[in-house]
Amino acid sequence: MASGEKLVFVVDVSSEMAASPFNDKKGKSRLDHVKSAIKKLVEFKSLISPRHTYGLALLTSEMVWLFQPGDKMTFLDMLGHVDVQGTFSECQLDSLVANLEPLLSQTSSGLHTVRAILIYGRSRVLPTWTDANRLLSDGRFVLDVLYLFDREAMMGDASSLASGSAHHRPDAADGEAAGVFDALVRLVAPSQRSYLFSVSTSVLRLYQSMASLAAHPLQRPPVDHISYSLSGSPEATSHSGDDGGDSDLVVVDGDSS
């Protein structure tokens, strides 16, 4: 039986999260919908197991803790107060590594009990890091990513994401949003069980993507057994690394059609 998770949500609070690009009639912002989707996910996981704990952090120019993994009610109360903080010209993810590594000392060897879900909402700011391999290759840790991007920053014909990869995504004329996407792929590449989803204007796909993260990493399907087919888009695949071997990384572009 899989153990309870320490589940940490790292939520981007940059100004781009205040945009309202989704096809809903209420005009809610990206951040509003992200908070709603997180709440639904946490409520669902709490029904499955009371052993899960939930942590919350903001992503400004770096990761900042709001609430270390604890009870659901305190987490949801803190989540309700999260708001956009401003415009940030950089995003340093070494802080994510530094903040999450200490949680591993509280876990049992060999169990995926610490998971971070990074919600990244910047189409034109490349995330940077020095070395995340040690954390991401640790069998007790999983990093999942939900990338919310500006469709206007993704233009052009489909092109290969990486040599040997069957996944395709729109090429950015200015290279900004596509470059961010590629950076996130590189970030999670050392992991064996990371999921990476991208969403632009479809609020349905935002909630679908978050729902896909509900399962405990030890209980969700192995990546090489998964095939996605999104409406109007054939791309849904496991990503192959530069060495030509198969890696256990799911990369799904939710708005490429």
Domain containing 61: what range?
A: 6-253
Q: Is residue 21 part of a domain?
A: yes
* Residue 86 CB-half CA count within 13 A: 7
CATH number for the domain spanning 203: value is 3.40.50.410
- The pLDDT score that the predictor gives to residue 250 is 46
* Tens digit of each residue's pLDDT (9 = 90 or more) over 78-104: 999 999 999 999 999 999 999 999 998
Highest mean pLDDT out of 99-103, 162-166, 171-175, 223-227? 99-103
3-class state of residue 150 by DSSP:
coil
The answer to whether residue 215 scores a pLDDT higher than 90 is no
- The pLDDT score that the predictor gives to residue 3 is 67
- The pLDDT score that the predictor gives to residue 159 is 29
Q: Is residue 194 part of a domain?
A: yes
Q: Is residue 138 part of a domain?
A: yes
Domain count, the chain: 1
- When pLDDT is cut at 50, 70 and 90, the band that residue 183 belongs to is very high
Contact in structure between 132 and 190 (CB atoms under 8 Å): yes
Q: Which two tokens stand for residue 115?
A: 């998971």
Distance CA 45, CA 52 (A): 7
- The pLDDT score that the predictor gives to residue 110 is 53
* Helix/strand number for the chain, H first, E second: 6, 12
- The pLDDT score that the predictor gives to residue 39 is 97
Q: Is residue 127 part of a domain?
A: yes
Q: Is the dihedral of CA 180, 185, 186, 191 positive or negative?
A: positive
Q: Is residue 206 part of a domain?
A: yes
* Tens digit of each residue's pLDDT (9 = 90 or more) over 4-43: 889 999 999 999 999 988 877 788 999 999 999 999 999 9
Q: What is the DSSP string of 151-175?
A: GGG--SSEEESSTT---EEEPPSSS
The amino acid present at 114, given as its one-letter code, is: V
Q: Is residue 1 part of a domain?
A: no
Distance CA 144, CA 127 (A): 15
Q: Residue 146: which H helix or E strand, with range?
A: strand 141-148
Integer CA distances (angstroms), 44 to 38, 195, 208, 211, 217, in order: 10, 19, 14, 9, 15
Q: Which two tokens stand for residue 147?
A: 């990338």
* Tens digit of each residue's pLDDT (9 = 90 or more) over 50-71: 889 999 999 999 999 999 999 9
- The pLDDT score that the predictor gives to residue 37 is 96
- The pLDDT score that the predictor gives to residue 163 is 26
Integer CA distances (angstroms), 57 to 26, 135, 244, in order: 27, 18, 35
- When pLDDT is cut at 50, 70 and 90, the band that residue 218 belongs to is confident
Look over the chain and give the mean of its residue pLDDT values, rounded to a whole number. 78
